[in-house]
Structures are given as structure tokens and as C-alpha cells.
């Protein structure tokens, strides 16, 4: 019992933290929109555009850029920790168990990109802006699910989190590939050396923060100087962190760091970024442009239509073909509701909008992301409320089994189950891991 109880509690803790983060994210975005459309607009923009830092190593950045390049690196470090844990000991540790969220996430990225390009292909800036609707916001989506889908089976949360983790990996790769124009190979070599030192210290079980913090700062500066988006440094270091505890070790470094840094990521880094990124003036002319210009159209249809079709259609096809198993106790209507949650693209979509477009185009793109995310969240909330009531009604009418458990059939394979038959989070051999 001991081997399985703790991972379940850690998963619940993660959901609770991200739910709070989702609410803070929404609050920060709302305040930013109010300020950007009030008499305080000039003050808001002045603070956002104020430059801080030194010209040395190109580190004189605006406050908004520090939030985008600096604070979001912390967010992506936590994402890297979670991704490494899922790949090694979690939901994504076996292809068979992870097949559905992996394929659904791929469909949920491909369909929005294709739809966006079909609507606005050839428009100035669309060579990179096609990537704006491919991202799903973990904190926002899980916050909506927790608030309006409390009656949903736990498999809904497992599927959404697994899908969002794979989606984040895809978005990270897009940022690394599409938004890297040129390399400074000397800076890149320094970054690689710093990462290698970090991995070596992890292998040697060195735990002192006095070494890791300077290495992290050097890696971030080197990646920034190399011409790669600096948030990639956070992901890389997270992926290099050890996730398996040694014999006698209370918890692995990755889990320990998640405990310490997740509140700062969800409670500070992401809301501050959202505060400076979401302040879009919503004048009558701006709103007209959002609903009439090709690129905002492409983003909105890509997010709302592309995510829904991509996630649900690919899930339905691979389940029908027997390639993957549908999550236990989830019907087609449940999958539609979760697929609509995938259309909540906020943090990473806003980041890609700022990276891919400039000036008025960027403002229109960010406004379309905000509007699309709100629409998707509202539709998903309505669907989740209805499905939660349906599940509650089903539970009331299903007699208990002989062991006091629900008599509902478990003939559908749980996609979160280990192929060997053990539950997620079962005992992992404490082999030495880098």
C-alpha cells in the first residue's frame, strides 16, 4: 500500500497547485485588460516597456521581456521536471500506456496549424504565427476542470494532464526550432558545458543549491546569448534533473524541486507574465480587426475548431483502430468536453504571439488568443457541468459491488495503467539514474 499511496497524493497535490495557479493567471489577465483599457493605460505600458539591466551580454531588457524570457524560464523548468517524471516513472513511461494522450496531443497541434494556414496562409507574419493556436495552457485548463468538472472521473484529469504535458513538449520544440534565427556557437558551447556540469552533479548526487543556482543562471544567460529563446534553458535543466529516488532517499531531486518551485511558478512567474502580455487595448477598431483580419480569424478557428477536432477525432480513430484504449469511465461526450478544454491556449500561445508578430498584428493576435480561450473555457465549463451531473446520477443508480465498490464495469482498459498490470506510481527499482 505504501508504494502506491504517495504517488497518488503527489498527483493530487499537483492538480491543487495548478488549479490555484489557473485562478491567479485569470486574475492577472483580467487586471491587465482593465488597466490597458482605462485611463491608466499609459502608466501600464510605461511600466511594461521600462528597460532594466545592462548592455553587457544583451541583458538590458524591458520589464515585459524579463517576464517573458526570465520568469517563464522558471515555469518551463517546472514543466521540464514534470515532463521528465512522466517520461521516466509516470503516465508516459510506456508507449502503450501513453499512446492516447500522445496521439491526441499530436492531433491537437496538427489540426490547429493546418486550419490556421488554410485561412491566413501567405499573410505577412503567418510563416511563424501558424504556431500560435497549437498550445494548451496547463494551469488554465486544469483550473477550469477543477472548478466545473469536479464530478468527472479521475481518469479525465489524468488524460488532460498527460495530453497537456505532451502538448508542452511540442510547443517547446516549436519555440526552439521556429524562433531561433541564428546561433552564437561560443555561447551555445558554454550553455552545453553548463548543462553537462549540471547533469554530472546530479549523477554524483550533489545537493547544494550554492552550485546549482549559479549553473542555472549561467545556462540561462548563455542560451539567451546564443540566440535561442531563453525559456529552453529551463526545460533542458528540468529534463536533466534526477527523478528516481535512491535507496534510503526520502524523495528524488525533481520532486523536491517541484515542491519548492511550483508555487513560485504558478503563483508568481505565470501570473506576472500574463499581466504584462495580456494588456491588449480592446477598442472598437481593435475588436473589429480581430473579427475581420485573416490572422486573428486563423488563430480563433485554429484554437476553438482545430483543438476540438484534432484531440477528439484522433482519439476516436485510434481507439476504434485498437491502437490505444479510451480512459476508463469516459464516454464520447466526456472526451468532447476535455477536447474543448485543450482549446484554452493562454500562456504559451501569448508567448508565441509575441515572438512571431510585431506591433498591431501582435496585439490583434493576443486579443484573439484571449477571446478564443474565454470562449473555449465557457463551452467546456457548460459541457463539464452537464457531464458531472450525468456521472453523479449514474453513481446514484449503480449498486455497490461486493467489496463496497461501484458496480460499474471496468472492462474498458484504463490508459493510465501499467502494461504489467501495476498501478501508476508503483514501486520503481531504485537503479542509479543520471
Q: Report which secondary-structure segment, H or E, holds 122.
A: none
Q: CB of 216 within 8 A of CB of 237? A: yes
Of how many residues is the chain composed? 434
pLDDT in tens, 92-113: 677 766 789 889 999 999 999 9
* 319 & 376 share domain: yes
Residue 296, in any domain of the structure: yes
Span 196-225, average pLDDT: 92
- Tell which residue, 307, 334, 348, has the closest CA to residue 139: 348
346 and 374 assigned to the same domain: yes
* Domain presence at residue 415: no
* Cβ atoms of 7 and 425 closer than 8 Å: yes
Residues 268-276, mean pLDDT to the nearest whole number: 89
- Would you state the pLDDT for residue 132? 93
pLDDT (0 to 100) of residue 265: 86
Nearest to 168 by CA among 366, 18, 387, 316: 18
Residue 340 and residue 219 in one domain: no
**Looking at the domain assignment, is residue 361 inside a domain?**
yes
Query: How many whole angstroms separate alpha carbon 418 and alpha carbon 291?
Result: 46
Residues 63 and 122 in one domain: yes
Q: 54 lies in a domain?
A: yes
Do 222 and 236 share a domain, yes or no?
A: no
**Least confident span in 27-36, 204-213, 271-280, 400-409:** 400-409
Q: Does 271 lie in the same domain as 209?
A: no
Average pLDDT taken over every residue of the chain: 82
Residues 75 and 191 grouped into a single domain: no
User: What pLDDT does residue 222 have?
Assistant: 93
How confident is residue 407, by pLDDT bands cut at 50, 70 and 90?
A: very low
The single-letter DSSP state of residue 67 is I
Report how far residue 149's alpha carbon sits from residue 392's, in angstroms, rounded to the nearest whole number: 11
Q: Are residues 234 and 97 in the same domain?
A: yes
pTM here is 0.72
> How many domains, the chain?
2
End-to-end CA distance of the chain: 28
Strand partners, 406: 400
Q: Are 304 and 372 in contact (CB under 8 A)?
A: yes
- Which residue has cell 556557437? 185
d(CA 374, CA 376): 5
The answer to whether residues 45 and 60 touch, using CB atoms and an 8 Å cutoff, is: no
Cell numbers that stand for 76 in this block: 518551463
Residue 43 falls within a domain, yes or no? yes
pLDDT tens per residue, range 288-337: 888 889 999 999 999 999 999 999 999 999 999 988 888 878 889 999 99
CATH of the domain at 377: 1.20.1530.10
Range of the domain at 144: 2-179+229-280+287-395
Question: What is the spatial distance between Cα 120 and Cα 104, in angstroms, rounded to a whole number?
Answer: 24
**Cell for 100?**
492516447
Give me the long-range contacts of 39-48 (CB less than 8 A, separation at least 24): 41/281, 44/279, 45/279, 48/276, 48/279
Give the residue from 6, 30, 48, 312 showing the smallest Cα distance to 160. Answer: 312
User: pLDDT digit string (tens) for 233-257?
Assistant: 998 999 999 999 988 888 899 989 9
How high is the pLDDT of residue 433?
54
Question: Which pLDDT does position 398 carry in this prediction?
Answer: 58
427 found inside a domain? no
Q: Quick one: 352 and 307 in the same domain? A: yes
Asked which of 228, 249, 265 is the last residue of a domain, the reply is 228
Does residue 432 belong to any structural domain of this protein? no
Q: Report pLDDT for 117.
A: 95
Query: For residue 322, what are the CA distances in angstroms to 102, 153, 222, 325, 411?
Result: 15, 22, 46, 7, 14
**Would 423 be classed as within a structural domain?**
no
pLDDT for 135 beyond 80 = yes
**Same structural domain, 132 and 33:** yes
Q: What mean pLDDT do residues 407-418 have?
A: 40
Q: Averaged over 161-178, what is the pLDDT? A: 82
Q: How far apart are CA 73 and CA 82, in angstroms?
A: 14
Looking at the fold, whether 23 and 135 belong to one and the same domain comes out as: yes
Q: What is the pLDDT of residues 33-68, one digit of tens each?
A: 899 899 999 999 999 999 998 888 778 899 988 998
Q: Are residues 113 and 192 in the same domain?
A: no
Amino acid at each position: 500500500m505504501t508504494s502506491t499511496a504517495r504517488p497518488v497524493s503527489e498527483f493530487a497535490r499537483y492538480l491543487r497547485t495548478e488549479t490555484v495557479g489557473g485562478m491567479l493567471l485569470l486574475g492577472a489577465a483580467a487586471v491587465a485588460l482593465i488597466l490597458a483599457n482605462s485611463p491608466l493605460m499609459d502608466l501600464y505600458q510605461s511600466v511594461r516597456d521600462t528597460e532594466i539591466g545592462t548592455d553587457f551580454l544583451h541583458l538590458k531588457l524591458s520589464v515585459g521581456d524579463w517576464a517573458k524570457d526570465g520568469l517563464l524560464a522558471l515555469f518551463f523548468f517546472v514543466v521540464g521536471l514534470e515532463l521528465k517524471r512522466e517520461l521516466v516513472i509516470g503516465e508516459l513511461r510506456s508507449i502503450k500506456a501513453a499512446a492516447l494522450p500522445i496521439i491526441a496531443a499530436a492531433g491537437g497541434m496538427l489540426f490547429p496549424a493546418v486550419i490556421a494556414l488554410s485561412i491566413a496562409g501567405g499573410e505577412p507574419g503567418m510563416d511563424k504565427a501558424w504556431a500560435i493556436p497549437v498550445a494548451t495552457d496547463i494551469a488554465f485548463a486544469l483550473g477550469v476542470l477543477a472548478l466545473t468538472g469536479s464530478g468527472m472521473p479521475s481518469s479525465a484529469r489524468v488524460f488532460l494532464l498527460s495530453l497537456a504535458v505532451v502538448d508542452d513538449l511540442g510547443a517547446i520544440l516549436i519555440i526552439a526550432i521556429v524562433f531561433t534565427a541564428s546561433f552564437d556557437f561560443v555561447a551555445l558551447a558554454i550553455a552545453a558545458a553548463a548543462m553537462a556540469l549540471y547533469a554530472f552533479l546530479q549523477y554524483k548526487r550533489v545537493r547544494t543549491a550554492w552550485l546549482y543556482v549559479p549553473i542555472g543562471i549561467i545556462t540561462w544567460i548563455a542560451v539567451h546569448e546564443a540566440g535561442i529563446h531563453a525559456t529552453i534553458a529551463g526545460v533542458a535543466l528540468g529534463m536533466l534533473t534526477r527523478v528516481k529516488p535512491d535507496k534510503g532517499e526520502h524523495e528524488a531531486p525533481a520532486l523536491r524541486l517541484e515542491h519548492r518551485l511550483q508555487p513560485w511558478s504558478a503563483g508568481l512567474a505565470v501570473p506576472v507574465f500574463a499581466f504584462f502580455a495580456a494588456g491588449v487595448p480592446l477598442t472598437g477598431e481593435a475588436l473589429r480587426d480581430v473579427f475581420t483580419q485573416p490572422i486573428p480569424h486563423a488563430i480563433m478557428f485554429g484554437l476553438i475548431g482545430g483543438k476540438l477536432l484534432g484531440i477528439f477525432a484522433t482519439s476516436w480513430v485510434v481507439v476504434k483502430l485498437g491502437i490505444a484504449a479510451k480512459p476508463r469511465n469516459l464516454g464520447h461526450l466526456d472526451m468532447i468536453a476535455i477536447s474543448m478544454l485543450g482549446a484554452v491556449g493562454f500562456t504559451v500561445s501569448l508567448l508565441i504571439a509575441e515572438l512571431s508578430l510585431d506591433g498591431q498584428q501582435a496585439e490583434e493576435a493576443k486579443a484573439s488568443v484571449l477571446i478564443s480561450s474565454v470562449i473555449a473555457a465557457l463551452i467546456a465549463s457548460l459541457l463539464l457541468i452537464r457531464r458531472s451531473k450525468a456521472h453523479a446520477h449514474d453513481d446514484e443508480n449503480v449498486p455497490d459491488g461486493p467489496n463496497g465498490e461501484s458496480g460499474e464495469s471496468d472492462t474498458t482498459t484504463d490508459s493510465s495503467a501499467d502494461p504489467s498490470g501495476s498501478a501508476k506510481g508503483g514501486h520503481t527499482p531504485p537503479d542509479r539514474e543520471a
